[in-house]
Chains A and B, each alone.
Chain A
Amino acid sequence: MSQSISRPRRPLGASGLRYRKIRDRIVEAFLMVAGLVAVFTTIAIVAILVVESSAFFDHVPIKDFLTDTMWTPLFADAHYGILPLVAGTITTTMVALIVAVPLGTTIAIYLSEFAPHHVRETVKPILELLGAVPTVVYGYFALTMVTPALQILMPDLPGFNMLSAGLVIGLMIVPYVSSVSEDAMRAVPRYMREGSYAMGATRLQTALRVVVPGAFSGLAAAFILGISRAVGETMVVAIAAGMQPNLTFDPREPAATITAYIVQVSLGDLPHGSIGYQSIFAAGLVLMLITLIFNVVGFSLTRRFREAY
């Protein structure tokens, strides 16, 4: 830093300045290209999914895809109805939300309204670790610990089931839900809390009747972003929920999700360009659309709570 000030590598003056300005333009162009990588990635994802899926939809009418109740693209008697996979995804996501929403919100309220500063600063990074554990490890956890534990309570529970996968996904997205919710609650201005205290409300009353309603759009955003995470989760369901497409909303049954199907096909050795190969892109397109909708709604809600006050 100081070296470049005390000893310029180039002579100062007109020629040095011109050189430095040209260098600046070149560097800026490079940096912009780096920024554009994100745009190219998005375009490439959309292009690949659309191109390969359109080849799939040349074989399969969209009506069958959306209404058929069987998904057996690799069988001789092939059916291409996405509903069983969507049902599996919805079921595991619902179970995950039932875990993550109450836990995440309670933790967020506690950290934002009750915990002393140093507790918050210590606990938050540790809590984030829950989201950092590799998903394949969570899958092992669901299969070898959670399912046997559940089988003590429910002896009829099969070895592969959506319940244990959903519970573990829920645990995984707790830090995600809690950190967005906490941000939203901390964005509620101080004077609103003080107004409530002045009326004689306790901390809990203030939290539940002033802060939570005030941060409502942020909480909604946290849940929606959590849903998007749970929908895209792959390894836990692939390991613990079995990989058989099964049109059911009963979490005690085994079933495949959209993501698990993609894994199942990728594990086999499908030839490039076959209908099975194309079907995973069609499944991926559906997955991408679902998460995109949730993400767009979620992010627009977070922007709203950041601007509201």
Chain B
Amino acid sequence: MGEASIRAVDDVSLEVPAGEFLALLGSSGSGKSTLLNLLAGLDRPTSGTIVAAGRNLAELSSTELARYRRETVGMVFQSFNLLPRMTLEENVELPLRLAEVDRGERAARVREALEHVRLSQRMGHRPSELSGGEQQRTAIARALVNRPKILLADEPTGNLDSATGEVILTLLREVQNHLGMTIVMVTHERPLAERFADRLATMGDGKLLATVAARAAGESAAFEDSAEVKR
């Protein structure tokens, strides 16, 4: 890492309506992960605004940002990021602890979240005793347990085989439908994104290249490919 500043995300204007499942596509280094981190309140933009749930994230203090991450968004990562020394139950409980939810209520909500991802039978296990798909399902349960409005997923299928990846995306779709969540998912697996997302946004070189409805996304494949060749 150098001191030189890089414009990871530049001049992107994107609106995601509530309840939409948006897939952010692009090759590595296209700025899609940075955009997701900005949406998650993990990073701050040097300029511009990010309005989520009525608040401009660029103007929040770090404590307010932490609160936003705690209450408004849930995150799912490529490498699951479960804490290895904790059981599934404890991993899922973590956001509730941070949000200072009462102990009595916590147990019920953890169970509910794990039932959503069909892992309530394995609450006492540690992540290392689970398959990759199960670990990712646990991570989704953890992301859901605080009942956030927005679910952000950073390459959720990147570490999984394609069959398991489908299971995960089916689950995300189900969550979106059942709980009415907004989902923004970063991925570079275009075919999966086309099948499960409502809309695809393609990024390249820090810029938003195109947004298309998923059912029509296939038609713009040639355009996207040419964009990649240009880079």
Are A and B bound to each other?
Answer: no
Which A residues lie at the B interface, using CB under 8 A? none
